[in-house]
Amino acid sequence: MSNTETHPAEVRCGPRPGAGPTADVEVLTPRTVPLGGPRAMTVRRTLPQRARTLIGAWCFADHYGPDDVAATGGMNVAPHPHTGLQTVSWLFSGEIEHRDSLGTHALVRPGELNLMTGGLGICHSEVSTPGTRILHGVQLWVALPDEHRHAQRDFQHYAPTPVPLDGGQALVFLGTLAGDTSPVHTFTPLLGAELSADPGATLTLGIDPDFEHGLLVDTGDIRADGTVLRPGELGCLAPGRRELTLTNTGPARARLILLGGPPFQEEIVMWWNFIGRTHEDIVRARRDWQEGRRFGTVTGYDGAPLPAPELPNTPLKPRGNKR
């Protein structure tokens, strides 16, 4: 998914200084961002924001739906570029047609991971299919470490097998959780899983104490280590925990996305759909996209590519995660 803001902020992101074990759960509330078009399907964005820019290498989180495509027109994101990152597409309902400059033509379906590596440069389009009635899911980005940020374009698909939990279920699409490991390759250690919890159930999960973790609630009211998280909120946990306790306090089944990874120890610059290390990296990527270099082309999409927004005139300001 593209960041379709017409004036995207240019953000320098870095590791959290002095992060360590804590009992606190930092709660982030989303802001609403339109995807564009006359009826403007909107998404709820929890990363990046002023309070926090990274959870491990996870640097971008959009949460959308349930969206009635008859009312909004659904998703229709024209070909757009990415550098220095991987995109993670995960649906709860509906279907999205993905096309990219590798020549990939794939469908994103509920409970199935589509992971695309931008690296040096890739472009893709995303369109909800004609049969989709309700569109509902998340779009996530992962920052690539400096030694791999010019990696070759790649696309991976994986359909995890449900893992039963006492009082719920897990779908582990990246990393390891509850005895299940995803085979999907990433460039830093990561965790990504969809969790569901029965009404009134408490889930206790073993987690990596070296990881930061994020809990993005889709449905239900979740109590995470004593802190209530409501739908759309993202709960952030510092490293140091070996267990995570989640309770569904509501009368219906709850669903959430669990993210994790070791604190990202590099400073990155993120603007629009690009991740680099310097302002000049971003300027170069924008120029290459506008002039038709580096990113390749998407075939099969009916329409013109997205033009890049204008770069801001203000200088970069360092921004790291607050503790």
Residue with tokens 């589509």: 114
pLDDT at 39 (0 to 100): 56
Q: Residue 43 falls within a domain, yes or no? A: yes
Residue 230 lies in a domain: yes
Is residue 173 within 8 Å of residue 193, measured between CB atoms? yes
**Quick check: is 201 in a domain?**
yes
Is 168 part of any domain?
yes
C-alpha 15/C-alpha 56 separation (Å) is 9
CA atoms within 13 A on the CB side of 316: 20
In-domain check, residue 240: yes
- Please give the pLDDT value at position 76: 92
pLDDT for residue 318? 45
Range of the domain at 109: 25-290
3-state secondary structure of 146: helix
Sheet holding 105-108, edge to edge: 76-82, 122-128, 96-100, 105-108
Q: State the total domains in the chain.
A: 1
Tokens of 248: 């569904």
- Domain assignment present for 188: yes
CA distance 206 to 220: 22
pLDDT score recorded for residue 17: 46
CATH assignment at residue 132: 2.60.120.10
Q: Which amino acid is at 160?
A: P
Single pTM value for the model: 0.91
- In whole angstroms, give the CA distance from residue 253 to residue 201: 9
Is residue 138 assigned to a domain? yes
- From first to last of its 323 residues, the chain has per-residue pLDDT tens of 556 555 566 555 665 544 444 448 999 999 998 875 545 678 999 999 888 999 999 999 999 999 999 988 899 999 999 999 999 999 999 999 999 999 999 999 999 999 999 999 999 999 999 999 999 999 999 999 999 999 999 999 999 999 999 999 999 999 999 999 999 999 999 999 999 999 999 999 999 999 999 999 999 999 998 899 999 999 999 999 999 999 999 999 999 999 999 999 999 999 999 999 999 999 999 999 999 999 999 999 999 999 999 998 876 554 555 44
Rounded Cα distance, 44 and 61, in Å: 8
| Cα Rg of the chain (Å, integer) | 19
DSSP-derived secondary structure for 202-254: EEEEE--TT-EEEEEEEES-EEETTEEE-TT-EEEE-TT-SEEEEEE-SSS-E
Looking at residue 103, its pLDDT comes to 97
Q: What confidence score (pLDDT) does residue 18 get? A: 43
Burial class (CB in 10 A: 0-12, 13-18, 19+), 133: middle
